Structure formats: C-alpha cells, structure tokens
Structure 1
C-alpha cells in the first residue's frame, strides 16, 4: 500500500509516517525541505522524502510525480497561530489558508489520478475548532471550517471514482504545536490528559483498514473523561 503523509515532520505527521511504515506500507513523507525531514527519513529508512512547501505547492517533487497508485493520502500539515481578528494581518490569513486548505487541495488535485487508480482514501486531520468559532483563533478556525467543506465536496465529487474521504476531528493531541497554542491561550498543557499522536495514527490505520461495506466519513477523537 502506498501512503502519502503531509506535515510529516510534525507531531501528528511523524507518528503517521512511523505507524504506516511499521505496517510495511510504502510511505512518502511530505514536508518543507528541512533537516527535520532528512532526519525523519533517516530514522525511518522505508519512508521516501518529498520536500514540498504547501504554502507554495508549485512543481511536485519526483517522489510524488512518479506515483501511479496512492491508496491513502493523509493531510496532517497545519499551522495554528493564536490571534484575534484585530491582530491577524492579511499575510497570516493568507499563510494559514494556504497551508491548512489550499495547499492540501492542490496536492489532492495533483494526486487524484493515482487515488482514482487505487480507489484510495483521503484523510483530512481537521480539528474540533473547525466545527465552531473560537475567540482569538479566527484564522485557524476558519481554515478548518473550510477544510470540512473541501472534504465534503471532494467526497461527493469522487464517489463515482471509488475515492473515499474522511475528516478526523481531534479534540486535543499531545504535540508541541498544541503546547504552544495552549501557552498562548494561557491554558495548561498536560500530555497525560490528551490523545497521543501514536493513538491518533492507530485510529487512522483502523479507518483505512475498515471493511469495504463501511465508510467512515467523519469521526471525532477525544481523550476519555478524567
């Protein structure tokens, strides 16, 4: 099985890369061209690096262009700056929408022939914040709401080609990004009270492996009550 993971160097993305690689899948790790991407693929030798900046997804790297079939495309890339509408300049709106929505849309468009050939699945890692407004998090919440609409539209359009689409709505994943976000909000960060990236990756694998007569379209992932 060929699996493409975006945001591969982030907490969620790297967990996805490792979990799919552990299963024996062929993983293409998509992230900005950094030492972190090189280090990840050195640590996971079966993962192939695909340097790509989703803010400016121009020409695709060879690792993506050469794919003829893609069974799974996981969109785990994202930024989540905390700022009110008053304090969110135009360039931050542009960057948030590019990385969280339009970049994933463009990469999905480019990989649709390979996804159709494999009758594959696209998994969008969304957020509970995409289901409602959040004060001081307007750009992020808006981008995640847009990601829901992208996923729902894609599902309707690609059903005839056998491509399935799932939106995953985590309510708190123990990543460094969430640590930063909660710090900006002045809220505590306790990894023990959150879902681990590894558990989220395991959940996505379960969705991918679901029987063909079951289609998981939307799923909320929350830590159990304490």
Structure 2
C-alpha cells in the first residue's frame, strides 16, 4: 500500500486527488491548517491520517511536524494547496506578496526539505501542482505568478538534485479549474463565474495520477492541462 501526503485535500483538485487515492485503498496523510480542519478532513476521508501545520507560516512547519507522528517512508508528496490574490504590481503591498509566496512557494520548499528522508527511502515522487501562471503571468497576476514561477524553479532544481536518490519530481500546470479558488478569482476580477467553462478537478486529478502511477522506467517532468472548451 502506497503512502501519500497531500496538501490542499479539502477542496478542488486536492480533494479530487485524495478521493481517487482513498477509493483505491492507498494510505493518506492529509495536511490541515488547524485542528478543526483536520477533523473535517478525517470525516471526509475515513481511515486517513491528518497532520496539522499552517502553510501560511512555513517557519513553524518543522516544529509542527516534530510534535506529530510521521511515517518512516513516504511514496509521494503532493503539493496542491495554494492561495491567490490579484492586483496590479503598482498596488500590491508586501503583505500580499509575502502571503502568496509563503503558501505557494516557501511552504512547499520547507515541507519537501522536511520529508525528503522518507521520500528517499521509498524512491518516491514529489508532485507540485503549479498553474498556467507559473509559465506566463498576465496583468493582475504578478504576485501569484511570481510564486508559481518560483515553484517551477524549485521543482526543476529538486529534480536534478534528487535524481541520484531515485526521487521523481513532476510539475503539473493546470489551466483554470472549477474550484473554490476559481470562484475567488472571478470575484476579484469582477466576472460572473460559470463552472462549466473550466476544467473539472477530476480531470486534473486524472493527469496527476497518470504521472504518479507511471512505471519506474519513465517519468513526467512537466505536464500542462488546459480547458478543452
């Protein structure tokens, strides 16, 4: 039975991935920002274990994980959680920049650092769910795009560094996906939200599991998923 640690399992793409892995009987560790959220995740995925750690405060993750049981080996680490705040560069405050960089970049880097020993033992896989904004950022997307461009750099460097240890690293770049995050984006853009226009989270989950389940004689480094409509 494979063991996976997932961030962002509470909604959207993260929930779709967790659901697929849970249904096939894999062992799940779901990271929650607080005890209340951990209880909700435990109820949604019976039998799954939860860890509490706030991605918005990455410097506290080391302490948080030290207080909780973490498995000796880990088959995959799936970074799916993320936050977005739009705005023109001329108006974005340091707090907005730092908030997105903390959750979208620094926390994944720190969580990966802390769990690399377990991933090396199993010759596991790290999957970073990035964004189309991680390849090209448009107006209003400067801070979010910067965090996701940084996430691409993190994945590329990690891939080269961990190849000798047998750890695979994949970046997935979904286009706009029907999720609570997309609702927030539309609110910030002042646009009407129509979920039917965007990718279903389950479709992105299929792409992620394709990379995760690929036989060991191959690996997917980068995978772009775009709306088909």
Which TM-score band applies after superposition, normalised by the shorter structure?
over 0.9
Residue 85 in 1 paired to residue 89 in 2? yes
Name which of structure 1's ranges 198-207 and 184-193 shifts more when overlaid on structure 2.
184-193
Contact 1:80 1:96 in 2 (8 A): yes
Counterparts of 1:1-226 in structure 2, within 5 Å, are 1-33=2-34, 35-57=36-58, 58=60, 59-61=63-65, 65-225=69-229
The CA deviation at 1:202 is 2.1
Structure 2 portions without partners, runs of 5+: none
Shift in Å, 1:46: 1.9
Q: Note the C-alpha offset of 1:127.
A: 0.3
**2-structure distance, mates of 1:139, 1:172:** 17
Q: Equivalents in 2 of 1:65, 1:81: separation in Å?
A: 34
Q: Which moved more, 1:36-45 or 1:56-65?
A: 56-65
Give the root-mean-square deviation of aligned CA atoms: 1.6
| 1:223 to partner: Cα distance | 1.9
Query: Could you tell me how far apart the structure 2 residues matched to 1:146 and 1:68 are?
Result: 29
Once residues 217 and 9 of structure 2 are traced to their aligned partners in structure 1, the CA distance between those partners, rounded to angstroms, is 30
Alpha-carbon distance in 2 for matches of 1:60, 1:67: 15
Change (3 A) 1:64 1:142: farther
Deviations 1:94-135 (A, max 9, x none): 111110001110000000000000100100000001111221
* 1:147 match: secondary structure: helix
Q: Give me the TM-score of the superposition, normalised by structure 1.
A: 0.94
SS of residue matched to 1:87: coil
Task: Give deviations 1:55-94, integer Å, cap 9, x for gaps.
Answer: 2232133696521111111001111111111221111111
Where does structure 1 lack aligned partners over 5 or more consecutive residues?
A: none
How far 1:189 sits from its partner (Å)? 2.4
Task: Tell me, in whole angstroms, the C-alpha distance in 2 between the residues paired with 1:187 and 1:79.
Answer: 19
TM-fit CA distance, 1:188:
3.7
Alignment size in residue pairs = 225
* Secondary structure at 1:74 match in 2: strand
**2-structure distance, mates of 1:3, 1:27:** 5
